[in-house]
């Protein structure tokens, strides 16, 4: 709530809106937007395919949290892009199949890079696991 109030103040609002809460959640989950980290056209393209790989695998497998947002805006310490999934319920136990599906989502970015760029996978997939 505090982060949402800060977002409302930054935009000059006198009330906290739903958009302010979404901005706050994104800032907490993905980190601060790095406007100084400018990607070239080829890197943006690669990051976009990488993140869409995560999203496509998540959309195609059962028992995986739905994708809420995909972005290629660099944030945090090293993330050049990110895919945020929104849990539909609190889960404390996972079956083996559910765990494998979650790992598949994490590997989806790497798989996408291999398919699109002919096996030339970047170091962007290094932090996915």
As annotated, the residues of the chain forming the CATH 1.20.58.760 domain(s) are 37-127
CA distances from 38 to 11, 41, 69, 72 (A): 23, 10, 20, 11
- Backbone angle region of 38, left / alpha / beta, with phi > 0 → left and psi within -120 to 50 → alpha: beta
Catalytic (active-site) positions: 51
Per-residue pLDDT of 63-100, as tens digits, reads: 899 999 999 999 887 789 999 998 989 989 999 999 99
Could you tell me the fold of the domain covering 37-127?
Methane Monooxygenase Hydroxylase; Chain G, domain 1 (1.20.58)
Rg, C-alpha atoms of the chain: 16
Q: Which of 25-29, 30-34, 49-53, 59-63 has the highest mean pLDDT?
A: 49-53
The label of the residue with tokens 């760029």 reads 117
């Amino acid at each position: 709530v505090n982060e949402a109030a800060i977002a409302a103040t930054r935009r000059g609002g006198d009330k906290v809106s739903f958009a302010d809460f979404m901005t706050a959640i994104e800032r907490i989950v993905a980190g601060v937007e790095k406007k100084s980290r400018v990607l070239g056209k080829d890197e943006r393209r690669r990051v976009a395919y990488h993140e869409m790989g995560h999203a496509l695998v998540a959309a195609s497998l059962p028992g995986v949290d739905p994708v809420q947002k995909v972005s290629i805006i660099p944030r945090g310490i090293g993330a050049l892009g990110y895919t945020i999934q929104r849990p539909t319920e609190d889960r404390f136990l996972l079956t083996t199949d559910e765990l494998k599906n979650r790992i598949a989502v994490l590997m989806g970015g790497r798989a996408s890079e291999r398919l699109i760029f002919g096996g030339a996978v970047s170091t962007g997939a290094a932090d996915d696991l």
